[in-house]
């Protein structure tokens, strides 16, 4: 796990290379071609590794999942413009059934790409991706947890795994809330929650949750910040500070701009990555730690968790320090 010392990849931000890539992506016929290619490669790689990508979509289509939507959807939400753009090669971004039906398979494929030369199964890769984050979180915050909030929970993979990790450390029950802006993702999460482990699946904006202040001991954002322009990320950090109990923990997992692997991605791959992640330039040039300090967090710690990712942990000041 080495870092080059450079703060961000040359293909992100204002560099010449970054501008050339952006021009390619903005050329519509080229973008359409890249999108199709990216999708084919993704599905083929997943299925070659035993992830039942197309089969699970067929099963969702045949289920009665769509009937869950009215009870989950908060019709008063106004979706911000940054969210209503194509993400991950879906024209409707996260706001469609296809994105939700494929999210689990896409998450498993993502973990496989972290350790391409170790012959890991997708299950082992996913477990390792989460456990490296949990190790850092567990060491940072050994105290028991009463209320856990997973912002940007998507179909619930991060919600279940972190809930279970924290729960097996203690006997007192943890009330966990999974929150997301996509009601489609939440419907899949709800359907996967066959044991009713999660207290609430909530359709809301992470920057304006409507949840009570000073309630949650741990709030996490796993693989969410790279999908946000920095102005939205800052607004979410403000909301996290409001929602945390004094001394509570914010735990972020996401791509590491200093990762040598990410910085040295071959041109085809970083072009594809930028074409499916519209806020890459903003994310890779955003100093999250500085923003957290400015907003009022303390004990800010960043740690590499694997060759591509980092964890950032921060604390709301305890009551006695106010």
Ligand X SMILES: C[S@@+](CC[C@H](N)C(=O)[O-])C[C@H]1O[C@@H](n2cnc3c(N)ncnc32)[C@H](O)[C@@H]1O
Span of 48-56, 117-125, 148-156, 242-250 interacting with ligand X by CB under 6 A: 148-156
**Please, which residue, 34 or 251, has the CB nearer to ligand X?**
251
Best CA proximity match to 175, nearest among 198, 206, 154, 158: 198
- Runs of H (alpha helix) within 91-196: 97-114, 122-140, 157-167, 183-192
Minimum distance of ligand X from residue 157's CB (angstroms)? 4
φ/ψ of 34, rounded to 5, equals: -60, -40
| Window 219-258: contact mask with ligand X (x via CB under 6 A) | ---xxx--xx---x--------------------------
* Nearest residue (CB) to ligand X, 15 versus 83: 83
Rounded least distance, CB 153 to ligand X, Å: 5
Strand partners, 252: 221, 312
Distance of CA 280 to the CA centre of its chain: 13
By the rule CB under 6 A, 183 interacts with ligand X = no
Chain residues 70-129 in contact with ligand X, contact rule CB under 6 A: 83, 94, 107
203 and 77 Cβ atoms separated by less than 8 Å: yes
| Span interacting with ligand X, options 19-27, 218-226, 269-277, 309-317, rule CB under 6 A | 218-226
Q: Is 245 helix (H, G, I), strand (E, B) or coil?
A: strand
Token duo for residue 322 = 């106010």
Residue 204: count of CB within 10 angstroms of its CB: 18
Please tell me whether residue 181 binds ligand X under the rule CB under 6 A.
yes
Q: Which CB atom, from 82 or from 115, has the smaller least distance to ligand X?
A: 82
Binding site for ligand X (CB under 6 A): 83, 94, 107, 151-154, 157-158, 180-182, 185, 205-207, 222-224, 227-228, 232
């Amino acid at each position: 796990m080495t870092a080059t010392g450079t703060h961000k990849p040359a293909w992100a931000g204002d560099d010449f290379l970054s501008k050339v890539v952006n021009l390619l992506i903005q050329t519509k016929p080229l973008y359409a071609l890249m999108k199709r290619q990216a999708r084919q490669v993704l599905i083929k790689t997943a299925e070659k590794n035993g992830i039942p990508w197309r089969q699970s979509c067929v099963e969702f289509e045949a289920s009665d999942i769509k009937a869950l939507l009215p009870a989950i959807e908060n019709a008063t939400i106004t979706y911000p413009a940054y969210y209503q753009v194509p993400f991950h090669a879906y024209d409707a971004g996260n706001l469609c059934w296809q994105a939700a039906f494929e999210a689990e398979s896409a998450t498993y494929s993502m973990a496989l790409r972290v350790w391409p030369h170790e012959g890991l199964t997708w299950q082992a890769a996913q477990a390792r991706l989460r456990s490296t984050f949990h190790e850092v979180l567990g060491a940072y915050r050994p105290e028991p947890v009463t209320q856990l909030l997973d912002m940007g929970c998507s179909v619930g993979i991060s919600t279940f795994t972190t809930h279970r990790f924290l729960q097996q450390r203690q006997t007192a029950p943890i009330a966990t809330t999974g929150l997301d802006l996509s009601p489609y993702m939440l419907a899949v999460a709800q359907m996967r929650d066959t044991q009713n482990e999660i207290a609430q699946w909530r359709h809301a904006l992470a920057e304006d949750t409507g949840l009570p202040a000073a309630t949650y001991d741990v709030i996490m954002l796993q693989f969410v910040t790279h999908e946000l322009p920095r102005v939205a990320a800052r607004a979410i950090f403000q909301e996290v500070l409001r929602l945390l109990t004094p001394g509570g923990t914010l735990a972020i997992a996401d791509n590491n701009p200093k990762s040598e692997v990410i910085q040295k991605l071959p041109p085809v791959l970083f072009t594809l990555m930028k074409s499916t992640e519209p806020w890459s330039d903003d994310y890779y040039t955003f100093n999250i730690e500085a923003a957290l300090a400015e907003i009022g967090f303390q004990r800010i710690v960043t740690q590499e968790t694997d060759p591509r990712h980092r964890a950032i942990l921060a604390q709301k000041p305890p009551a006695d320090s106010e």
